């Protein structure tokens, strides 16, 4: 990775009295497991963009009539689509687990008079909501309810 640190990182607005060496990064900073997980987390953005446009494509097909929709359904069987969706599932689980871990402590102590619930309650609530929403969405899509 070229130029891992910006040459003006943490620079003072006026030069000091002596010459300084430019800021450095610890070698292999990107290889440390925790940093790799963070970079992966950012990289999931690519997959979310693809997923969003994928849903758009499905939506457009649905609005274009039965033939277009059936063509879309048929495409889902291809190995490429299956692989993408398997990766996407891993991806959203990874994002959810990381985000849920970080979300509770990011709630301010109060907004006006309102206070958030205790952090463990928020965490449990997030997982409950995720599982609940996934169940409802899955059951509806699979035709097992409604």
Partner 1 sequence: MSEQKKTFVVTRFDPDRDPAPRQQTYEVPVQPDWKVLDALNYIKDEIDGTLSHRWSCRMAVCGSCGMMVNGKPSLTCKDSLADYGSRVEVAPLSNFPIVRDLVVELEGFLEKLKAVKPFILKEKERALAEGTHRQSPEQLEEFRQFSYCINCMLCYAACPVVANEPEFLGPAAIALGHRYNMDSRDEGQHERNEIFRGEGTVFSCSYANECSEVCPKHVDPAAAINQAKFNAVIDWLAGFVTSRGGK
Partner 2 sequence: MKHLLLKLEPLIWLLFGQGILIGTMLLTGWILVVGLLLPLGVVSPAALGYDRAHDLASSLVGRVFLLALCALPLWKGAHHVRSLSIDFGGVNRDAAVATLVYALAAAGSLAAIIAVVRL
Binding partner of residue 77 among partner 1, partner 2, none, CB under 5 to 8 Å per kind?
partner 2
Q: Report the C-alpha dihedral over residues 134, 87, 98, 112, rounded to 10 degrees.
A: -50
Burial class (CB in 10 A: 0-12, 13-18, 19+), 91: buried
Q: Least CB distance from residue 106 to partner 1, whole Å?
A: 3
Cβ atoms of 138 and 131 closer than 8 Å: no
| Triad 111, 116, 42: Cα angle to 5° | 90
Binds partner 1 (CB under 8 A): choice among 2, 13, 113, 142: 13
- What residues from 56 to 75 belong to the interface with partner 2 (CB under 8 A)? 56, 58-60, 62-63, 65-66, 69-70, 73
Please tell me whether residue 77 binds partner 1 under the rule CB under 8 A: no
For partner 1, the binding residues (CB under 8 A) are 4-6, 8-14, 16, 18-29, 32, 34-35, 38, 42, 102, 105-111
């Amino acid at each position: 990775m070229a130029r891992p640190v910006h040459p003006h990182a943490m620079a003072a607005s006026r030069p000091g009295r002596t010459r300084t060496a430019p800021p450095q990064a610890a070698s292999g900073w990107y290889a440390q497991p925790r940093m790799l997980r963070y970079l992966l987390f950012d990289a999931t953005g690519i997959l979310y963009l693809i997923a969003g446009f994928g849903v758009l494509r499905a939506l457009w097909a649905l609005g274009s009539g039965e033939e277009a929709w059936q063509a879309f359904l048929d495409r889902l069987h291809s190995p490429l689509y299956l692989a993408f969706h398997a990766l996407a599932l891993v991806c959203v689980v990874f994002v959810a687990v990381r985000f849920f871990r970080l979300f509770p402590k990011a709630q301010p102590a109060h907004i006006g008079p309102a206070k958030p619930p205790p952090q463990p309650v928020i965490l449990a609530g997030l997982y409950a909501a995720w599982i609940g929403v996934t169940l409802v969405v899955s059951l509806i899509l699979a035709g097992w309810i409604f």
